[in-house]
Chain A
């Protein structure tokens, strides 16, 4: 990366800035959940069940009398945990494999491309559903299922970028001067494909959060009573006629968080891609 971003330039990228601010807000919310959440997110309080938004319960209560706002605040923890962890695992596994395949070419590349093709022939959420049905439902299995579904994206991206780089003169020069494959990968390939990977990473966190919410919505992801946005929506679905606030707010939280990571990713792409540098 030749052009690290100067702080002064960030203001030229309003979408990046907006994404960054929302992401930081969500992270803070998750970290400070015990301090800022007005009620216990799990403890039931039946007499207060299904109250619409009010001064006491800003976003209303659910059928068990739990405060929706508090559950959304705690739900940020699950979403971020799953989103960050599964995107990170997918990146750590997918990038080196993909990059190495692209760099080496030949049989290694053909083989890996085949594996990527096969993994990509399952739509992501379907792969995750199947994996969850095999592994059983828990937060960590959700992470595993989602990272598995996202590995091929990173591998494919890294492969393509490494393939382009491997024919560049400086890589050829390093090879000619006797550098080993691993050496070239670590010193010449990986540092130079960082930008697109970073963009993909940010976008993947968003889609991981989305898949987690989808799995939990169906009932295959995070299990109640652990507060998660998807699970809250699945509860809300049953009270669509009587308590629409149950469906509105958790979905808004998902959308905002996913939007933030998408803005961050798009913004990063604009900032890091020299081809898009404006006049």
Chain B
């Protein structure tokens, strides 16, 4: 499998009153064609900003200050805005965390699907195509839903419609930013199944952003664990789940309730993600149970542990 997306040394900073917030700091990872790649971490760790950086839709006052985002060999950060618009929605589709707020309340669902198609293709019988798309993403009574407004649809149906919009131009990459977080548990499973089905049928690559390790185990091929704007560990699901290296990854995995193991209590990681981490040293140091002196002094480098399993931690330096 060849590489579809290669993010290299991405830096996205926010200039706020209290200083510079380094939301994404030197992040690198590759996504291969046809694979599901997960970006995992607590809320506020920069995974959503990474996704928006790939789309070049970082909200104010954020700014991409460095790095490369090679999509099919082309650096997206170097494209003029008009060229980028031809990639968004056409070659990269995106769905968002909260389906209740990601559809425009003023237009019908069908109109919004058609808009997505017409932005990139001149098609006469677009309404037929739109209805078919709604059917394809499993919306029952698609002809009726086509004419309805978003507030008339349930959260699950809205997320299906969002997926329909995202795949309307058969993109090569689908970015899904916590696509199930806002939904009921039963609906979550359906949405995940739908995405995996699309991968199977269309060979689409998926960048799945989540904090749900259960979902990672279920859906992912490879993953990267992010903490406070940096990737601390990445590798295949098998590698990382069987042998997590970084103390943060270990802690994350301990947080997952597992029916197969008789765990006495669910562990939570004490402390919160620092908003303004110190310039040098490991960002996880003040929450890490295994710190040494150097953890507070130098930033750990990424180390290759074999089989594509990489970790940034002084324990393995």
Contacts and interface: CB of A to CB of B under 8 A. Distances in A.
A–B in direct contact per CB < 8 Å: yes
A227 B314 CA distance: 81
Nearest to A12: B17
B62 to A, nearest CB: 12
Contacts of B125: none
A277 to B, nearest CB: 11
A278 B16 CA distance: 9
A279 B60 CA distance: 12
B144 interface: no
Contacts of A279: 16-18
Contacts of B18: 279
A13 to B, nearest CB: 14
A77 B44 CA distance: 56
Nearest to A278: B17
Contacts of A278: 17
A278 B18 CA distance: 10
A12 B265 CA distance: 48
A278 B17 CA distance: 8
A279 B18 CA distance: 8
Interface string A119-141: 00000000000000000000000
Interface string A243-279: 0000000000000000000000000000000000011
B18 to A, nearest CB: 7
Contacts of B16: 279
Interface in B16-57: 16-18
A279 B17 CA distance: 7
Nearest to B16: A279
B229 to A, nearest CB: 16
Interface string B6-21: 0000000000111000
Nearest to B14: A279
A270 to B, nearest CB: 14
A279 B16 CA distance: 7
Interface string A9-43: 00000000000000000000000000000000000
B235 to A, nearest CB: 35
Nearest to B21: A279
A92 B105 CA distance: 42
A80 B120 CA distance: 62
A158 B16 CA distance: 35
Nearest to B61: A279
B137 to A, nearest CB: 37
A8 B16 CA distance: 20
B274 to A, nearest CB: 16
Nearest to A279: B16
A242 to B, nearest CB: 54
A182 to B, nearest CB: 42
A278 B61 CA distance: 12
Interface string B155-183: 00000000000000000000000000000
A91 to B, nearest CB: 34
Contacts of B17: 278-279
A19 to B, nearest CB: 23
A227 to B, nearest CB: 47
A124 B261 CA distance: 72
B31 to A, nearest CB: 32
B22 to A, nearest CB: 15
A279 B15 CA distance: 10
Nearest to B275: A279
Interface string A214-245: 00000000000000000000000000000000
B94 to A, nearest CB: 25
A172 B16 CA distance: 39
A56 B16 CA distance: 53
A279 B62 CA distance: 13
A107 to B, nearest CB: 33
A60 B309 CA distance: 86
Interface of A: 278-279
Interface of B: 16-18
- The 4 A-B pairs at the shortest CB distance, nearest first, are namely A279-B16, A279-B17, A278-B17, A279-B18
4 contacts: A278-B17, A279-B16, A279-B17, A279-B18
